[in-house]
Amino acid sequence: MKNIILSTAAAILLLSFISYGKKAPDVYFEDLSGKKVYVEDFRGKPTVLVFWQLYCHSCKDELPKISKLAKKYKGKVRFYAVVIGTRDILQIEEKKREWGFDMPVLIAGYKAESSFGIFGTPITVVIDRDLEIAGKIIGSKRTHILEKILNKIIQE
């Protein structure tokens, strides 16, 4: 049992760094009006993608905190709440109101989700201005790590 736990922990740690320093995948998301938003559209400004689900309790705590951080970095960094597992716009809008966050929402299809290595939520991916993955944060309560990554890439 101990070996299984250690192996799982090692795999999660490896997955958290596996895409660091690589080019962001060439995929697209959809905004709530159905318009396609391509990763290429993020070129020129750092972008934060917070992957979440409707019934994720950790996401309920994390998204309002990151939404406040988005206000702090307004004009310097783009922030998106990327929902997985649903395309139900009414439910998405309801969760935004209920949880109290106001970042723009994008919908990830299977290809975008798998290309970014999303295996749970919340997972936050930071993309620099050149579309390189500057960080991948697994889990919640890690906004201090996100701020460190953002401060570093803004200064570059």
For residues 125-143, average pLDDT = 93
Residue-wise pLDDT for 31-44, tens only, equals 999 999 999 999 99
For residues 76-83, average pLDDT = 98
Burial of 46 (0-12, 13-18, 19+ CB in 10 A): buried
- Sheet containing 28-31: give its strands across: 36-38, 28-31, 105-107, 78-83, 47-52, 123-127, 133-138
How high is the pLDDT of residue 73?
96
Structure-model confidence comparison of residues 137 and 141, the more confident one:
137
- What is the pTM assigned to this prediction? 0.87
How high is the pLDDT of residue 59?
95
Residue 16, pLDDT above cutoff 50: no
Residue 17, pLDDT above cutoff 90: no
How high is the pLDDT of residue 82?
98
Q: Percent of the chain beyond pLDDT 90?
A: 79
- Spatial neighbors of 63 by CB under 8 A, at least 6 apart, are 50, 52, 81, 99, 101, 103, 122
Q: What are the angstrom distances between the C-alpha of 136 and each of 10, 14, 93?
A: 15, 11, 26
How high is the pLDDT of residue 139?
87
Helical pair 57-72 and 89-99, crossing angle rounded to 10 deg = 70
